[in-house]
Amino acid sequence: MTYEDFASAQSFFLWSTFAIALIMGAVVNKTNFCTMGAVSDWVNMGDTGRLRAWGLAIAVGVLGVTGLEAAGLVDVTHTFPPYRQTTLPWLESLLGGLLFGVGMTLASGCGNKTLIRIGGGNLKSIMVLAVIALIAYFMVNPFPGSDKTLYSTLFYGWTNPTAIALTTNQDLGAMLFGEHAATGRKVAGAVIGGLLLVWAFKSADFRGSFDNMLGGLVVGLAVLAAWYLTSNVRISADGEVMSLQTFVQNWDFYAPAEAVRPADAAPLAAQSFTFINPMGQTLGFVAGGFNRTLLTFGVMTLAGVFAGSLLWSLVSRSFRIEWFASVRDFVNHLIGAILMGFGGVLAMGCTIGQGVTGVSTLAASSFIVLAAIIAGAALTMKAQYALMMRSGG
């Protein structure tokens, strides 16, 4: 996928992202793939069907990335965000995951599910999206007339110093196998992916559920497709073939005068699906008057998932307008959205962004986030049940 000019390469990059996200959005709506629902089914009813679908998605992501990386077909080391960075931000991962897990339970779904619900006619989720987007934006962008962000004001001073500096990348292959990191990644990926695959298909109920298998498979394949796409769209300039990010970083040297330069080169690095930071990017795109220099993989991801969900809702005639049932319902969703905004950026991802995409890179912090999200959601559900029983239902 090599192009002679930046405009063509970027257009393919963005519209291919939209197409993959659209398919994922439609299938997630159709199959009711939901990570919050998966934890709820498990905690409240002992049903692991949707949890195994999530496990299947992770298995496909891990095994796929392991194979593609070994073949030199994807780059999951120099990514946006930097999953395999050489520091281990364990406290931010733990805190962010817990906040996100609590938040998605109160708001009836994670970032991906929020978009799916909007596509299905749920107006409550529009408020959730707006609140997450506002917080996510100012977690990484300074307040007007200031150099301070929400992150630097509320978190940096006490969370960042706890990060552990490593002598290697923080993926399991590098951490456990040192200079034999490449071999370690193959071993760790094969073991983790294989065990998850066996666990998912061990259940006869899961094997008998077409929707659960389809949902897990498509989400996993979508993550792989995005990794492959963003690792392989390249530009040929002055006899050199380079990535979009490298081209933009050397813009003045390679780009013709009439070319339109993106606002930032970082979002052109290899990446896959995540939803919280892209909500902030989308707010910036809208607030910037839909300036095309602000169009990113993340913005197209949100648009594609929403469009796919809406398309399936219309085709299946399941589109239904839904509003808050009570003031308490509104408050729960508001608090949940706030917690997801803070937690998703602190954790550098969500149930998909860290739970599937991040884990597919074998990043140690992604496993911390995944465990914390599940723990936060499960504890919140237990607390909600206890309160309901105390109040007599």
Across the strands, what pairs with 3?
Answer: 235
SS3 state at 235: strand
Return the closest-CA partner of residue 4 out of 212, 259, 192, 305. 259
Q: Please state, in angstroms and rounded to a whole number, the distance separating the CA atoms of residues 223 and 219.
A: 6
pLDDT tens across the length of the chain (393 residues): 899 999 999 999 999 999 999 999 999 999 999 999 999 999 989 999 999 999 999 999 999 999 999 999 999 999 999 999 999 999 999 999 999 999 999 999 999 999 999 999 999 999 999 999 999 999 999 999 999 999 999 999 999 999 999 999 999 999 999 999 999 999 999 999 999 999 999 999 999 999 999 999 999 999 999 999 999 999 998 888 999 999 999 998 888 878 899 999 999 999 999 999 999 999 999 999 999 999 999 999 999 999 999 999 999 999 999 999 999 999 999 999 999 999 999 999 999 999 999 999 999 999 999 999 999 999 999 998 888 778 765
112 with 40: CB under 8 angstroms? Answer: no
CA distances in angstroms from 263 to 78, 140, 253, 325, listed in the order given:
19, 15, 17, 41
Q: What is the pTM of this model?
A: 0.96
Residues 6+ apart with CB under 8 A from 126: 118
Give, for 3, the enclosing helix (H) or strand (E). strand 2-3
Cβ-based neighbour number of residue 165 at 10 Å? 7
SS3 state at 87: strand
Alpha-helical runs (H) found in 161-209: 172-177, 181-202, 204-207
Give the per-residue pLDDT at 392. 64
Q: Domain count of the chain?
A: 1
Tokens in use for 284?
């910036």
Phi, psi of 316 (to 5 degrees): -90, -5
Domain limits at 178?
2-390
CA distances in angstroms from 220 to 72, 210, 224, 233, 258, listed in the order given:
19, 15, 6, 21, 39
Whether the upstream peptide bond of residue 144 has omega within 30° of 0, thus cis, is no
Q: Please state, in angstroms and rounded to a whole number, the distance separating the CA atoms of residues 37 and 110.
A: 10
Can you state the percent helix, strand and coil of the chain, rounding each to 5? 70, 5, 25
